Chain A
Amino acid sequence: MTEITVNVNGKSYTREIEPRMLLVHFIRDVLGLTGTNIGCETSVCGACTILMDGQAVKSCTQLAVQADGSDVTTIEGLASNGDLHPVQEGFWEKHGLQCGYCTPGMIMSGVDLLKNNPNPTEDEIRHGIEGNLCRCTGYHNIVKAIQYAAEKMQGGN
């Protein structure tokens, strides 16, 4: 067993874990934050996307020990004081989700995308989320949701 300390959504957690434990299992099973989903276990679908030290990573193919000392943000930590993050709001406004399973990962990728490119073109959005699979929406309204958030974060409506 190994001891790790990870700051998740602004709260520090120190836990003894098996060195082989995947980060997504640490988040879901050890910390009980089940908003982050698992869709493929092969780093393809992106349902498990979180922010680690500000960068979007797929937590199904990271070991928990790799997150030792890191700051992690999951979907549960995105809204602040009850106010939805503009990307969350965009998904609601634009019907960017149906079953919702890919949504937490998709939102985290959207947050990462807009941080690096605050005013993306449609093409840049599509490439920005190419590591996240959605089987319900055909991506149409996800693109619109991210466009909505970009506009809002730029101070538009």
Chain B
Amino acid sequence: MGKAIGQAIKRKEDPRLITGQAKYLDDIQLPGMVYAAVLRSPYAHANIKSIDTSEAESQPGVVGVFTGKDFADLNPLPCAWQAGGVNNNANTPRTLEIDKVTFTGAGVAVVVAESRYAAEDALQYIHVDYEVLPTVVDAKKATEPGAPQLHENAPNNICMEWTCGDEAGTDKALGEADVVVKQAIRNQRLLPTPMDSRGAIGIYSPVSEDYTVYMTSQCPHIMRLLMTAFVFGMPESKMRCISPHVGGGFGTKIFLYPEYCMVAAVSKKLGGLPVKWMETRRENYVATSHGRDHVTEFEVAAKSDGTITGLKVETYANLGGILSTIAPGIPTTLYGRMLSGVYKIPNIYCKVYGTYTNTGMVDAYRGAGRPEASYLVERAVDLVAQELGMDPTEVRRKNFIPPEAFPYAPASNILNGLKYDSGNYAGALDKALELIDYKNLRKEQEEARKAGRLMGIGFSSYVEICGVAPSAWVGLNGEGWGAGLWESANVRVHLTGQVVVTTGSQPHGQGHETTMAQIAADLLGMDVADVRVEHSDTLGTPFGYGTYGSRSATVGGTAIYNSVQKIIEKAKKIGAHMLEAAPEDVTFEDGKVFVKGSPDKAKTIQEVALAAAVAYDLPAGTEPFLDDTTYYDPPNCTYPFGTHVCIVEVDKDSGHVQIKRYLAVDDVGKKINPLIVDGQIHGGVVQGVGQALWEGAMYDDNGQLVSGSLMDYALPKAHYLPMIETDSTETPSPVNPMGIKGAGEAGTIASAQAVVNAVVDALAPYGIKHIDMPLTPQKVWEAIHSNGNGGN
């Protein structure tokens, strides 16, 4: 490789972001624009008997009021990942709900006015007659006899039952084990909270009868496909979708939401006026998808020497009142299939019930299924260690999949035919132990305990599945995803020598404009400054699946790599012609074509690009221009891994947990830009730490979101945290030519259990084995005092 890949260069996108020049959705103003405000159900479960909009219509500045009946011709939004046999009972949102609502915050009417203030004012004049129904909010209680029923087509509120692995084999392992540890755990519901909430602008053209929709989306191409083909029932060519600057997504902006359809449909009703809708934080919390929310019981079997022999898991996954776009795929494919973790566990079985409850939609949130899996596995390993009186690192080491076992297929075919690509799990653990000075840490801990202080050391050795995904594996015949998951790239070398790369992926903080430019510049032997990356507009970029699942570099980046390779081949052919040499005699190095052994007489890629563009002297049969488009479908996913270590001190009088140190040793394969990778790890770790210690979406029994604002939901703040120490090992992925594994979710997938394991370790003198997240002072204090010794 050349001189750009692997460099920690500053981001190309930053100048406009640090000067206030970047345009996010709410920054876009168009002539004649009107503003929408959505009336949302205050009830978690209710039938809509009637809606009277007449008083609202006569309010000052109001240009229109619409209800679900006005959009009855639009289909319900599709569920695009029907894993686990939900075909007959998928219940999805409508543009506005018509007959009933199943969670607080469901949209039932919209006011459009000349100003945002006027639209919000008029909402109170819409009168809805609701028949309020009983509610259930817990994923498991929803399946019990007598629970309120949400949907006729889903008896006992069960949306899906899904299994993977070998039940008989796992039961046998449990029966024969020296020790079996059983544990009930909750992986609490989280509010993903991108700082930029959702929004959309719809513009209908009555002349060309087509739509332009600006939206806060991680995947505008998929949005266009779902809106046109599934909701509106029209060809894709009738809609253009654009993501402007998007201020974070963390998964929540993958999905099709009712409001995106609503602004388009309302614009049509208003003769083409541009209609803007921008979510408030309160709306973001009730109406944008949530993450996690599993109620789980597991049993882990082990020999007395710490060898793990089986893992059996039963999970109730809360999917909310209706299904978000890919909700069923998260607690199945992305969770159950990763329950082997970094260990060669010979028997695994997992059963998942996906259930409807009177809560907001639950779908992918950073890590999406994999944090839940790695949390479970790493808690299980620590419980085994505690049961056997072994050091937790010893149990990990004993069970690691060894480097020579790759490619490795987890037992009981839980990965459904795929294999972990490459890994050196002990290598990452060793590095972490050395950096953290483990031996002395345990001594320090002992001294702290003698002095009456509760210090804890927690480990998390993790593997994740990234770079989603081979279409044949993930698609309808495999995991049930209703499409492919390849990615596109177009690379053009213009006649001035400047390169334009377009990608189907969509940056919303990850820095694609820098890393993708580094890939092209490196391979073409050019300056990064000479490569411009374009994205996020269905007009002008080839169809692509977007950004999530840590896939942009592995899948999207490889598409760019492949296009550049094809461009280099063409450049060699044209360059050879220019040098009056045979194509087989020339080589391409450092941005130049030259006859092998004669680098002094060379044609630069810029000279070749000019010759290819003006095209008056090209080899016979050669098309003009250096331009190539690739659609790259990966042969496998990628499997980043690592070990994180967290050191905490627990105040036994208050239950307060303070993180003293946090170390992340990650192996994300080859890094394109280490500065950006480190940033991804820092942010990811803190999202997992947030789950471990502070965050939790709270619904009361009536289905009211009690943690419904940033005053109530405890997001991590700067002064709660230490610096995050990062280091890495590098095990290239054999799946793609650059050896990239992906880095977007690693931090979040690894971190929550490192913190929880540390706290439980700190509390070991009290015989405490587990506390459910978040580990608030109250919960920790109660755990300390619940064993009857008054905390002594």
Interface positions of A (Cβ within 8 A of B): 18, 20-21, 25, 28, 32-42, 44-45, 47, 74-76, 78-79, 84, 88, 91-93, 95, 97-104, 107, 122-123, 125-127, 129-130, 132-143
Check B10–A92 contact: CB distance below 8 A: yes
Look across to chain B and name the residue whose beta carbon is closest to the beta carbon of A146.
B718
List 8 A–B pairs whose Cβ atoms lie within 8 Å, in order of A's numbering: A18-B117, A41-B280, A97-B14, A97-B17, A98-B509, A101-B196, A135-B193, A135-B715
Look across to chain B and name the residue whose beta carbon is closest to the beta carbon of A18.
B117
Could you tell me the dominant secondary structure of chain B's interface residues?
loop
Check B20–A75 contact: CB distance below 8 A: yes
Question: Is the CB of B532 closer than 8 A to any CB of chain A?
Answer: no
Look across to chain B and name the residue whose beta carbon is closest to the beta carbon of A20.
B117
Look across to chain B and name the residue whose beta carbon is closest to the beta carbon of A137.
B683
Report the Cα distance A44→B714, complex, angstroms: 11
- Contact string against A for B residues 1-35, beta-carbon threshold 8 Å, 1 for contact and 0 otherwise: 00000000011011101111111101101000000
Check B10–A93 contact: CB distance below 8 A: yes
Which of B94-102, B142-150, B674-682, B782-790 forms part of the interface with chain A?
B674-682
Known A37-B247, A74-B20; contact A95-B717, beta-carbon cutoff 8 A: no
Q: Taking the nearest CB of chain B, how far is it from the CB of A130, in angstroms?
A: 5
Check B511–A98 contact: CB distance below 8 A: yes
Report the Cα distance A40→B250, complex, angstroms: 17
Check A42–B718 contact: CB distance below 8 A: no
Check A138–B19 contact: CB distance below 8 A: no
Check A91–B14 contact: CB distance below 8 A: yes
Check A76–B718 contact: CB distance below 8 A: no
Report the Cα distance A76→B27, complex, angstroms: 14
Check A141–B682 contact: CB distance below 8 A: yes
Known A100-B247, A138-B724; contact A133-B710, beta-carbon cutoff 8 A: yes
Report the Cα distance A28→B680, complex, angstroms: 30
Known: A28-B26, A32-B29, A143-B718. 12 other contacts (CB 8 A): A35-B19, A39-B197, A75-B18, A95-B11, A98-B510, A101-B248, A104-B20, A127-B718, A135-B248, A136-B509, A138-B684, A138-B716
Question: Is the CB of B195 closer than 8 A to any CB of chain A?
Answer: yes
Q: Taking the nearest CB of chain A, how far is it from the CB of B718, in angstroms?
A: 4
Question: Is the CB of B711 closer than 8 A to any CB of chain A?
Answer: yes
Check B24–A101 contact: CB distance below 8 A: yes
Check A135–B687 contact: CB distance below 8 A: yes
The CB with the most chain B CB atoms within 10 A, among A74, A78, A134, is that of A134
Q: Taking the nearest CB of chain A, how far is it from the CB of B445, in angstroms?
A: 24
Q: Which residues of chain B have C-beta atoms less than 8 A from A102's C-beta?
A: 195, 247
Check B195–A133 contact: CB distance below 8 A: yes
Check B195–A42 contact: CB distance below 8 A: no
Q: Taking the nearest CB of chain B, how far is it from the CB of A137, in angstroms?
A: 5
Q: Which residues of chain B have C-beta atoms less than 8 A from A141's C-beta?
A: 678-679, 682
Check A99–B718 contact: CB distance below 8 A: no
Q: Which residues of chain A have C-beta atoms less than 8 A from B678's C-beta?
A: 95, 141
Check B20–A76 contact: CB distance below 8 A: yes
Check A101–B247 contact: CB distance below 8 A: yes
Check B719–A127 contact: CB distance below 8 A: yes
Q: Which residues of chain A have C-beta atoms less than 8 A from B72's C-beta?
A: none
The 10 closest A-B pairs by CB, nearest first: A35-B20, A101-B247, A99-B509, A138-B686, A100-B17, A75-B20, A98-B509, A34-B27, A138-B682, A44-B710
Check B676–A41 contact: CB distance below 8 A: no
The CB with the most chain B CB atoms within 10 A, among A28, A91, A141, is that of A141
Report the Cα distance A103→B22, complex, angstroms: 11
Q: Which residues of chain B have C-beta atoms less than 8 A from A25's C-beta?
A: 116
Check A34–B18 contact: CB distance below 8 A: no
Report the Cα distance A134→B687, complex, angstroms: 11
Q: Which residues of chain B have C-beta atoms less than 8 A from A137's C-beta?
A: 679, 682-683
Report the Cα distance A102→B194, complex, angstroms: 10
Q: Which residues of chain A have C-beta atoms less than 8 A from B510's C-beta?
A: 98
Residues 407 to 448 of chain B near chain A (Cβ within 8 Å): none
Check B18–A84 contact: CB distance below 8 A: yes
Q: Taking the nearest CB of chain B, how far is it from the CB of A87, in angstroms?
A: 9
Check A99–B20 contact: CB distance below 8 A: no
Report the Cα distance A32→B29, complex, angstroms: 9
Report the Cα distance A84→B195, complex, angstroms: 24
Question: Is the CB of B47 closer than 8 A to any CB of chain A?
Answer: no
Question: Is the CB of B45 closer than 8 A to any CB of chain A?
Answer: no
Check B18–A88 contact: CB distance below 8 A: yes
Q: Which residues of chain A have C-beta atoms less than 8 A from B721's C-beta?
A: 126, 138-140
Q: Taking the nearest CB of chain B, how far is it from the CB of A49, in angstroms?
A: 12
Check A100–B675 contact: CB distance below 8 A: no
Report the Cα distance A135→B709, complex, angstroms: 15
Q: Taking the nearest CB of chain A, how far is it from the CB of B516, in angstroms?
A: 16
Q: Which residues of chain B have C-beta atoms less than 8 A from A35's C-beta?
A: 19-22
Q: Which residues of chain A have C-beta atoms less than 8 A from B684's C-beta?
A: 138
Check B718–A135 contact: CB distance below 8 A: no
Check A133–B717 contact: CB distance below 8 A: yes
